[in-house]
Amino acid sequence: MKNNTNNTKLILLHPYIQKQGSTNRLWLVALVSFFTIAFVLTLVYSRESILTTTTTTTATATTATMMVPGNPPLSKPVLNALLHYASISNATGRMTHAEMKMVSDVLRRCSHPCNLLVFGLTPETLLWKALNQNGRTVFIDENQYYAAYMEHIHPEIEAYDILYTTKIKDTKETLSAVRDQVRNECRPVQNLLFTECKIGINDLPNHVYEVDWDVILVDGPRGFWPDAPGRMQSIFTAGVLARSKKGKNGNSKTHVFVHDFTMDRVSSNEFLCAENLVETKDVLGHFVLERMDPSCFHFCHNKTTSSWSS
């Protein structure tokens, strides 16, 4: 009989084999974790570096921009050339050389940046913009299509259109109604944005009423026939803006020019006052108005300067 004990096989599992497999897995996990952490840290560092660089670049650019001075004022020869070529234009209704020079002299003396408000888009529009190159110039016109056209071909121009509601043939009645409301809706010192005075212009963008205007030129709206709007509204608005000036930069005066003022002397005398007329050239009148106390309800100190006659 064969002995079967020799057919029995004994397999021994050494603990080292299991330990070696477990160690390999631990190393693999550690290696993967290391690369994952390194990748995340790299992303975080790169993002912070980009943000820091962008912030630094922006700050540097802003500082550089603030340090760059404005354009130097126009030299006298350039100024004279501009006035010369503007004065020999064949455009209808243009100003004379003497009239343009009177405005340019004030703009040159104006503290920078100078705020210039112009009623009317005229042949001198680009000239006023150029002469006030370091300041702010805003144009107001009654023709919305022409205002849009000028802004389209000259993107540097800031122009707004408004609707005038007065008529020259109604001047006497309109002026009488304004006088009746001079202590209320039509007072000389007020925020025109909220005015209910029938000749006050209150449909301009809000920021126009917040600016302290140093120079105001009234050269619009166009036309002096009976049904034309005349310039009573623009003259009244100029007078109120000048008297309501805040004077933040210490300048309480406003220079107001009225072109063709001989055609609307009634409104000029009523709201700008003959006592404030300092100079005339041809048909351009130059008024200088002081900031007024809100408790005052008379446009002119000398009431006799206002009259119905022209």
Same domain, residue pair 168 and 221: yes
Same domain, residue pair 264 and 165: yes
CATH number of the domain residue 132 falls in: 3.40.50
Same domain, residue pair 33 and 176: no
If one counts the domains in the chain, the total is 2
Residue 5 forms part of a structural domain:
no
Residue 233 forms part of a structural domain:
yes
Residue 27 forms part of a structural domain:
yes
Same domain, residue pair 108 and 151: yes
Report the candidate in 39, 214, 22 with the shortest Cα–Cα distance to residue 118.
214
38 Cα distance to chain centroid: 52
By residue range, what is the domain housing residue 32?
A: 16-58
Same domain, residue pair 47 and 83: no
Same domain, residue pair 116 and 264: yes
Same domain, residue pair 27 and 135: no
Same domain, residue pair 227 and 181: yes
Residue 199 forms part of a structural domain:
yes
pLDDT (tens digit, 0 to 9) for every residue of the chain, 310 residues total? 444 445 555 555 455 444 455 566 666 666 666 666 766 566 555 555 544 444 444 444 444 444 445 677 777 767 776 877 777 777 777 899 999 999 999 999 998 889 999 999 999 999 999 999 889 999 999 999 999 999 999 999 999 999 999 999 999 999 999 999 999 999 999 999 999 999 999 999 999 999 999 999 999 999 899 999 999 999 999 999 999 998 877 789 999 999 998 888 999 999 999 999 999 999 999 999 999 999 999 999 876 544 444 4
Residue 169 forms part of a structural domain:
yes
Same domain, residue pair 46 and 135: no
Residue 124 forms part of a structural domain:
yes
Same domain, residue pair 131 and 100: yes
* Beta carbons within 8 Å of 264's beta carbon, 6+ residues apart: 224, 230, 231, 232, 235, 258, 310
Same domain, residue pair 199 and 142: yes
Q: What is the pLDDT of residues 216-237, one digit of tens each?
A: 999 999 989 999 999 999 999 9
Amino acid identity of residue 180, one-letter, is: D
Q: What is the pLDDT of residues 24-72, one digit of tens each?
A: 666 666 666 666 676 656 655 555 554 444 444 444 444 444 444 567 7
Same domain, residue pair 141 and 224: yes
